């Protein structure tokens, strides 16, 4: 039997790592669905009619999100088959399936 031994748990995050992660989360929280920071996209200086600021240009053609397309098709088929189904709170997801 041993006496006098003490184990101390090391922290999972040191202060610098924690601060970096918190800063990263603040940045991510500010990103809109368009991929731009909302704090900049809603800034009056981003108004294209205002001189001295900046503006945004959309891509000329959309990218196709095939996972979202799969969900849209599944959702439409489900509600066509079950038109009276309550849609509130539905969560749809897609999973990757390798072709054979």
Higher local confidence (pLDDT), 6 or 77: 77
pLDDT at 8 over 90: no
Q: Shortest CA distance to 67 belongs to which of 95, 41, 88?
A: 95
What Rg value do the Cα atoms of the chain yield, rounded?
A: 24
The string of pLDDT tens digits covering residues 29-64 is 999 999 999 999 999 999 999 999 999 999 999 999
Contact 67, 94 (CB under 8 A): yes
* Domain ranges (residues) in the chain: 15-81
pTM: 0.55
Of the chain, the percentage scoring pLDDT greater than 90 comes to: 87
Q: What is the pLDDT of residue 1?
A: 62
Compute the mean pLDDT over every residue in the chain, rounded to the nearest whole number.
94
Q: Where are the alpha helices (DSSP H) in the chain?
A: 15-29, 38-41, 66-81
Q: Which SS3 state, helix, strand or coil, does residue 37 take?
A: strand
């Amino acid at each position: 039997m041993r006496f006098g031994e003490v184990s101390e748990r090391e922290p999972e995050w040191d202060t610098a790592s924690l601060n970096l992660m918190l800063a990263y989360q603040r940045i991510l929280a500010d990103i809109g669905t368009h991929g731009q920071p909302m704090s900049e996209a809603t800034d009056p200086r981003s108004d294209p009619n205002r001189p001295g600021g900046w503006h945004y240009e959309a891509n000329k053609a959309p990218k196709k999100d095939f996972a979202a397309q799969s969900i849209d098709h599944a959702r439409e088929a489900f509600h066509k088959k079950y038109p009276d189904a309550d849609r509130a709170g539905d969560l749809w997801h897609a999973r990757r399936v390798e072709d054979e």
